[in-house]
Amino acid sequence: MKFTKMEGAGNDYVYVDLFSETLPEPPEALAVKISDRHFGVGGDGLVLICPSDRADARMRMFNADGSEAEMCGNAVRCVAKYVHDRGICGRNPLRIETGIGVLTLDLELKADRVVRVRVDMGEPVLAPEKVPTVLRASSGDPNAPAVDVPFEIDGRDLSVTCVSMGNPHCVAFVDEPTDEWVLGIGPKIEMDPRFPRRVNAEFVKVLSRSELQMRVWERGTGETLACGTGACATGVAAILSGKTDRRVTIHLRGGDLVIEWNEETGHVIMTGPAREVFSGDWPE
């Protein structure tokens, strides 16, 4: 089975083109093996690039623990690059089907190769029941966004904002996004029963009205160098909390993403890089 390793801001996945390849085993089991950084190819998970009857291609994404995720913002940019650069579809913009619907992606080209992608990520989901989380706004309104909600965990007091970008996120603003927060508290937030489908945990430092620094503990994977949906959720949370303007640059460990929450459409727009690392053959 041929595969391609790709990364977007350091968020790396193993991609398999199901227009031409066949999986040797169920994707859940393959994701665990192929993502292993010691005995496999190594990556944050497995992404399948599939035919679609609704769009130019379809993306299925599996975390390193084998669980299937609804969406990955960094991965969908890489899917768009693969689909364009390998000649599967030459349209610009492209339409990619994901677990949260069909997304539109504008391609920035250099020498007819994709270098950056602008993705319309749609509207954020803010109703707590749909995130989902049992946390509620201080007003008690069950449909009000859970913004700056007090959150005690492992003897620590945080204020968190809950956002779904098709997958659930818990955003906490801290003085410094240290290992103590990300590696120590991140996995505990992921598994906390107040998030019935588990959750991605973002730890964020405000640098200015237009810049944030972020680290993320991803559901089913652990810390990654970047998370596209997490960056989108963080941008939304920062705006809801009054900490930034509606366009922010988010500095992640693997690079920068630009997030804009359009006031007129309500859609979140993410812009970031996509890069192919290498290709190879996985023994069946």
pLDDT value at position 14? Answer: 98
State the pLDDT at residue 93. Answer: 97
Token pair 């859970």 is found at 146
Active site residues: 72, 227
> Nearest 10 degrees: CA dihedral of 236, 9, 11, 24?
120
**Listed residue (216, 196, 190, 204) closest to 148, CA to CA:** 204
Tell me, letter by letter, the H, E, C secondary structure of the chain: CEEEEEEECCEEEEEEECCCCCCCCCHHHHHHHHHCCCCCCCCCEEEEEECCCCCCEEEEEEECCCCEECCCHHHHHHHHHHHHHCCCCCCCCEEEEECCEEEEEEEEEECCEEEEEEEECCCCECCHHHCCCCCCCCCCCCCCCCCCEEEEECCEEEEEEEEECCCEEEEEECCCCCHHHHHHHHHHHHCCCCCCCCCEEEEEEEEECCEEEEEEEECCCEEECCCHHHHHHHHHHHHHCCCCCCEEEEEECCEEEEEEECCCCCCEEEEEECEEEEEEECCC
Q: Where are the domains of the chain?
A: 2-122+272-279, 128-266
Residues of the chain predicted below pLDDT 70: none
Is 3.10.310.10 the CATH number for 128-266?
yes
Quick one: pLDDT at residue 185? Answer: 98
In this predicted structure, what is the pLDDT of residue 39?
A: 96
What is the reported pLDDT for 284? 75
Rounded Cα gap, residues 166 and 200, in angstroms: 12
Enter the tokens of residue 14: 């193993």
pLDDT, residue 210, reads 98
Q: How many residues does the chain have?
A: 284
What is the rounded CA–CA span in Å between residue 274 and residue 98? 17
User: Same CATH fold, 128-266 and 2-122+272-279?
Assistant: yes
Report the DSSP beta bridge partners of residue 59.
Answer: 49
Question: What are the φ and ψ backbone dihedral angles of 37, each rounded to 5 degrees?
Answer: -80, -5
CATH, domain range 2-122+272-279: 3.10.310.10
